[in-house]
Amino acid sequence: MKIKRVNTGRSHHYIDVDTGERVPGVTTILDQGLPKKALINWSANATAEYAIDNWDDLTGLAPSARLTKLKGGRYAAKDEAANRGTQVHKFGERLIHGEQVVVPDLLRPYVDSYVRFMDEFQLRARYVEALVYSERHRYCGTLDIFGDILLPDMPEYDDLPRDSDGYVCNCLIDAKTNRSGIFGETALQLAGYRYAEWMQADPADPDSAFEMPEVTWTGAVWIRPDGYSLIPVQAGPEQHRALLYAQQIGIFDQGARELIGEPVEPPTASRYALTEVGER
């Protein structure tokens, strides 16, 4: 199995080079197979916020046009947040590689927080935005950071092996820029990356694949305009199994309508037939 990541504007997908088929990503699996209870309240709040922020413009529209704008308001907020996260990730990747970047004022607070995280935990990144995939379970993903960090000498970290410089090596870290913090599904996302069998340092080069290194510690860094938080995330075998369950639920949901047939007519239904009436 050889995988290639294909970038398409703001998004991307994964292709099995040998068969040409798409292979689902971990985030796609979670979107399709995991309930998003928080999104129900979010969508209602986002629509209300859009209405308040655009009240004057909406007032001048016809009712049908106003309804259309309200329906799409939450997606505008979602796209803005997703675009911000993508840009912050790209700046972070370039900074980790030692590049100098010019950052728009709107994103500067996020990038400053990202840099603080890297400096204060003395991040030694080995792989950034690397592709991982599971040949056995047939899924892919793009991890954010795989590397070494300096964790404090506290009892909860006593069981973690450290190198001669005190670093905890082979840490798998996901970066989030949303307003709500780290959701529980991040555990399943990290577990999917952790227990993939293969990694590609270059997502566009299938021949660069090698066996996935063993992961020592998993966590997520929540990057905000006012700072950051590095949060431990439990992403072990149980969470990986839950991810695989979500994968199966998503597969079922996609084909569920095909399982339902046409209504069956009862055998006792009345039958009617036209007969020719002779002359009187």
Q: Is residue 152 in some structural domain?
A: yes
Domain hosting residue 146, numbered range: 3-34+108-254
Q: Are 134 and 156 in contact (CB under 8 A)?
A: no
Q: What angle do CA 120, 126, 127 make, to 5 degrees?
A: 110
Q: Is residue 164 in some structural domain?
A: yes
pLDDT on residue 61:
81
Q: How far apart are CA 244 and CA 17, in angstroms?
A: 23
Q: Is residue 267 in some structural domain?
A: no
Would you call 235 helix, strand, or coil by DSSP?
A: coil
Task: Give the number of domains in the chain.
Answer: 1
Q: Is residue 272 in some structural domain?
A: no
Sign of CA dihedral 33, 35, 40, 42: negative
DSSP run (H or E) holding 114: helix 108-120
**Cα distances (angstroms) measured from residue 15 to each of 196, 257, 260, 262:** 16, 26, 31, 36
Non-local CB neighbours of 240 within 8 Å, separated by 6+ positions: 188, 191, 192, 194, 195
Strand partners, 124: 148
Q: What's this model's pTM, rounded to 2 decimal places?
A: 0.82
Non-local CB neighbours of 90 within 8 Å, separated by 6+ positions: none
pLDDT tier at 193, thresholds 50, 70, 90: very high
pLDDT in tens, 3-33: 988 887 777 889 999 899 999 999 999 999 9
First vs last C-alpha separation in the chain: 82
Strand partners, 43: none
Share of the chain above pLDDT 90, in %: 50
The enclosing domain of 240 has a CATH number of: 3.90.320
pLDDT on residue 215:
97
pLDDT tier at 278, thresholds 50, 70, 90: low
Q: Is residue 184 in some structural domain?
A: yes
Residue 74 clears pLDDT 90, i.e. is over it: no
Q: Half-sphere exposure (CA, 13 Å, Cβ side) for 199?
A: 20
pLDDT in tens, 29-52: 999 998 777 667 767 777 887 788
pLDDT on residue 39:
67
Q: Which residue has the higher pLDDT, 10 or 240?
A: 240
Most confident residue range from 10-24, 29-43, 239-253, 254-268? 239-253
Q: Is residue 259 in some structural domain?
A: no
Token output for 222: 């929540």
Q: Is residue 159 in some structural domain?
A: yes
Residue 75 clears pLDDT 70, i.e. is over it: no
Token output for 262: 């046409």
Q: Is residue 263 in some structural domain?
A: no
